[in-house]
Amino acid sequence: MPLSFHRRALPAILSMIFLLISTTLALAEDHPMLCSDGFGSFSSKFATGVTVSVEPVRKSAFASRVCSASLNWNGSQLEITPKASEIDLDVFGADLGLGAPVAAFQIRNVGSDKLVQYEIYSLKKPSQKLRTLTGGDYFNAADTDLDGRIEVWTDDAAAIDGFDNLSLSIFDAAPTVVLRFEKGHLVDVGAEFQSDYDRQIAALRAGIDSHTLNQFKNSDGKLTDRSSLPIEEAHAVMTAKVKVLEIVWAYLYSGREQQAWDALDAMWPSADVKRIRTLIQNARAAGMHSKVEGTSNKPTIHIKKHAMIFEAEMQYNKDDHMHEFQAEVIPKEIYLRRPPLPSTAGTSMNNEVILNLVIDAAGKVRSAKSEGKGDQDLIAATAGWKFVPAFQSGHAVASRMRYGVTPYQ
């Protein structure tokens, strides 16, 4: 459902964040795209004079079922893609660690329903492609813990599609991969987010009962013949196998190799451990891990630094004795959607919900809280919203903004 938004002024205060905002790994989440099957568009000029455009491809006066993206400046055009089934503008204006403000696109090509390409382009004139990442079925850049550094969250979908004769769709999620560009080099930083992986592991363990796990441990591990089991039991044993693999991957991809193999030894049929361990090692080596240029290991003492959160649209008062900062450029909407409103009799389409949003330097909502009676569905939907971030002194920054949301038909 489309939304009507307007920004609300905030009191002039200095805001620092001292709390680590928790994150969650992508577990079978939807990752909405800006333009999909010929619906959805965005166009905006960056401060450098480069315009980013994502729009449906038109045939005569009508939109077709495909989308295109381009960069334009001074009469020049750089075509990102002339025809794709889905395109998303994931980042606009932030520096991902490549030394320039960028536009980062997710592109799902026509005929592909699994993987996307992540294309990163400089917004300096003349614009040019900086990097391409592949192998995941989504990419999401975010300053996850608000420490001033932007990570790119993705998964190793290509590496595990067909793993041990299992299709990608049977897994709740492919192994989560957390990347960061550091001085232009692509680094695996999953070890810095072990608490997020731990939440995933806990949820997976809770979904396996001891009886079914024992049934799986007494199998051959391949589960090539489940005909002797009732259909429901056969499905449960296969589900246990999948969850065990996902647990092992969560340890492995968060920099805890020994714990991964310990978990495998504890939950996998002993006669098949060597075979499946080799498959896991080979799959990871051929996936995202083959593309990184370094790995970050979580230090023994890991003290997070937290970035300042700038107030959007605040008034700077020179007579105020407090130090005050303001975002010079306030966030601009790229993609905002909400779930349909309940068909409750008497519900007014003019009812306004005020949200207090914290938007990170990549333009993603890190927290949302409503004033007054909360609309939980709307708050949950903010996790998928995308903004052009706020800017201060020419750099993308985290900001706090008060938003009024009014749905309309």
User: Has residue 181 been placed in a domain?
Assistant: yes
Which range marks the domain in which residue 216 is found?
Answer: 156-304
Place of tokens 């009014």: 406
Strands of 208-348, DSSP E: 294-295, 309-311, 332-335
330: CATH: 3.30.2420
Is residue 178 located within the same domain as residue 255? yes
Q: Which of 304, 327, 351 is the C-terminal boundary of a domain?
A: 304
Does pLDDT of 299 surpass 60? no
The answer to whether 182 touches 190, Cβ cutoff 8 Å, is no
Is residue 319 located within the same domain as residue 365? yes
142: CATH: 2.40.128
Is residue 279 located within the same domain as residue 358? no
Is residue 314 located within the same domain as residue 286? no
Is residue 321 located within the same domain as residue 279? no
Does pLDDT of 319 surpass 90? no
Q: Which of 147, 180, 204 is the C-terminal boundary of a domain?
A: 147
pLDDT of 16 reads 28
Does pLDDT of 195 surpass 80? yes
Q: Which of 147, 174, 197 is the C-terminal boundary of a domain?
A: 147
Is residue 143 located within the same domain as residue 63? yes
Cα–Cα distance for residue pair 301/320, rounded to 1 Å: 39
Q: How confident is the model at residue 351 (pLDDT cuts 50, 70, 90)?
A: confident
Render pLDDT for 26-42 as a digit per residue (tens, 0 to 9).
433 568 899 998 999 99
CA count, 13 A, side-chain hemisphere, 54 = 26
Is residue 186 located within the same domain as residue 117? no
Is residue 209 located within the same domain as residue 292? yes
Of the ranges 133-147, 286-300, 312-326, which is most confident?
A: 133-147
pLDDT of 342 reads 64
| Backbone torsions φ then ψ of 315, nearest 5 degrees | -95, 130
Is residue 239 located within the same domain as residue 330? no
Render pLDDT for 86-100 as a digit per residue (tens, 0 to 9).
999 999 999 999 999
User: Has residue 2 been placed in a domain?
Assistant: no
pLDDT of 114 reads 79
The answer to whether 388 touches 44, Cβ cutoff 8 Å, is yes
Does pLDDT of 77 surpass 90? yes
Per cent of the chain over pLDDT 90 is 68
Does pLDDT of 408 surpass 70? no
Residue type, 49: G
Q: Report how many domains make up the chain.
A: 3
The answer to whether 296 touches 177, Cβ cutoff 8 Å, is no
Is residue 288 located within the same domain as residue 186? yes
User: Has residue 195 been placed in a domain?
Assistant: yes
Nearest Cα residue to 241 out of 203, 201, 213: 213
Q: How confident is the model at residue 304 (pLDDT cuts 50, 70, 90)?
A: low
User: Has residue 9 been placed in a domain?
Assistant: no
Is residue 103 located within the same domain as residue 235? no
Is residue 387 located within the same domain as residue 298? no
Q: How is 317-340 classified by DSSP, letter by letter? A: -TT-SS---B-SB--EEEE---PP
User: Has residue 111 been placed in a domain?
Assistant: yes
| Mean pLDDT taken over the chain | 86
User: Has residue 353 been placed in a domain?
Assistant: yes
Average pLDDT over residues 168-176: 94
User: Has residue 226 been placed in a domain?
Assistant: yes
pTM comes to 0.87
Does pLDDT of 258 surpass 70? yes
User: Has residue 197 been placed in a domain?
Assistant: yes
Angle between helices 257-267 and 231-253 (to 10 degrees): 160
